[in-house]
Structure 1
């Protein structure tokens, strides 16, 4: 039946054209944004996962910055430890030289005093971002320091942080009290009274530290004891430098891991929500062709009503 009131052919063509235009709009949005899943309406599950992982990736970016800060702190402390160790080596050489008969110990003491001042200067200068891991006073006490190492999310969605820890009591070179006086029985390797093992294996404690040592009036035997004490201090400093070096290596490894992890997460999110531009461009061309055909079909359907007029001529 042909009706001028209800044009079913035009209605069908119009419905098809609406569907084509809707698909074309979706495809154009994907091409312009580069995303296959841009909103929750596109795919709620993938959108939720992508949104959460993007947030976690931002947190990992902050972790990477924290690791960079931690690496800087350990670098500064390690540099101070290495340079201090070299200076203490020089002091040890001066003590050996002072053990020679006829040497003017007072002149050598002047050299040692300058080296002691250099040790103080190195320790005080080894500060980064307000933290000094080798010089401790009442405002900067030795303690366990934490470096944020990673951001974690478990299967239940609970989040946590992994931290790398280091006890700065191990790296303390100089410890002073509230008056600025060296603490002789503290954790400072250079400010505490020296200890060493004698020939029998017994621990001997000297009445002075590397920083307070004065050889002006020392006997040959006392100089030998001083050399043993300085040598023992050097071994402790070597151990401390090894600990700092190990931490620095761990921080660097963790930093590289976090960078790789962040890249992997970004790739994973991309696989979930990114649009395939080759596929979308092909679909757009097909939809453009369908749109032209749909418009042509609608035009034909509308012309059917005009054909009815010829029956009444």
Structure 2
């Protein structure tokens, strides 16, 4: 080997190895600090791009979940109103049946009539107030509502079910003036009650569908997040072990460079007398 004071191949090699170790150490420390093996496009462009796209899809599902939850609330409000309305219809039928008794005196008949009319008015009020965030599926103001179903903008459609007086084929002026008239209203109340229960059943089916789809969206989002983690997250146990190894290697590299730098000094002994 050429003995030269201008060039020290051993030191150059030791410096190259030390620089390589320092680079690996910096990378490992970065992974430990961020918890990611691919934190930027510089680390791995293809994986980083894929992870970003999947993260965007996962994030957009938050809007889908919000929309579906609004749908649930809107239906729940309509169902709550529907429960009240079916109870009112049952009571109206009861009042009509009681008023059909020809043995009633005038005072009792008029009391039943007043109760019947009050219950009738409550039905319309219940339907009119069945709104969530200004939207109703029960008052006839809309025919259907579309909620977000996926990150591509697809929709989950819920058909409205009008359960106000018009939707139940009842008049806002419905009443009875005689026992015979009350008798004729009983069948009408039975029909209205059947119509209401059928419409509520349809809303219940839609609510169940929303629940199922919302659960699916939640699972999908979890799967996407887990997939992104598999792509970019660092194995911290592995990186910790590697850190210990590289720190030891760095110390050895510094010592090797120190030894290599001492080599040219041996040339001085050639010039001693």
Give the distance between the partners of 2:119 and 2:179, measured in 1 at CA.
Answer: 21
**Matched position secondary structure for 1:174:** coil
**What corresponds to 1:123 in structure 2?**
127
**What corresponds to 2:39 in structure 1?**
38
**What corresponds to 1:212 in structure 2?**
173
Moved over 3 A (4+): none
Return 5+ residue gaps in structure 2 as ranges: none
Q: In the alignment, which of 106, 113, 119 is matched to residue 110 of structure 2?
A: 106
Give the distance between the partners of 2:206 and 2:159, measured in 1 at CA.
Answer: 11
**What corresponds to 1:9 in structure 2?**
10
Instruction: Flag the structure with higher helix content.
Output: 2
Q: In the alignment, which of 159, 163, 170 is matched to residue 155 of structure 2?
A: 163
Instruction: Flag the structure with higher strand content.
Output: 1
Q: In the alignment, which of 249, 258, 270 is matched to residue 299 of structure 1?
A: 258
Give the distance between the partners of 2:264 and 2:246, measured in 1 at CA.
Answer: 28
Give the distance between the partners of 1:24 and 1:142, measured in 2 at CA.
Answer: 64
**What corresponds to 1:172 in structure 2?**
162
Higher mean alpha-carbon deviation, 85-94 vs 121-130, is at: 121-130
**What corresponds to 1:256 in structure 2?**
215
Higher mean alpha-carbon deviation, 302-311 vs 9-18, is at: 302-311
Deviation at 1:189, TM superposition (A): 2.1
Return 5+ residue gaps in structure 1 as ranges: 152-159, 176-187, 194-208
Deviation at 1:256, TM superposition (A): 1.2
Q: In the alignment, which of 200, 205, 215 is matched to residue 246 of structure 1?
A: 205
TM-score normalised over the length of structure 1:
0.82
**Matched position secondary structure for 2:205:** helix
Contact kept? 2:102, 2:179, Cα under 8 Å: no
Give the distance between the partners of 2:157 and 2:196, measured in 1 at CA.
Answer: 19
Give the distance between the partners of 2:265 and 2:129, measured in 1 at CA.
Answer: 95
Count of residues paired in the alignment? 268
Contact kept? 2:145, 2:159, Cα under 8 Å: yes
Residue by residue over 1:186-227, the C-alpha shift from the partner in whole angstroms, topping out at 9 and shown as x without a partner, is xx324x44xxxxxxxxxxxxxxx2x32121x2352x333311
Q: In the alignment, which of 167, 178, 186 is matched to residue 189 of structure 1?
A: 167
**What corresponds to 1:150 in structure 2?**
150
**What corresponds to 1:88 in structure 2?**
89
**Matched position secondary structure for 1:132:** coil
The structure, 1 or 2, with the larger RCO (C-alpha pairs under 8 Å, 6+ apart) is: 2
TM-score normalised over the length of structure 2:
0.94
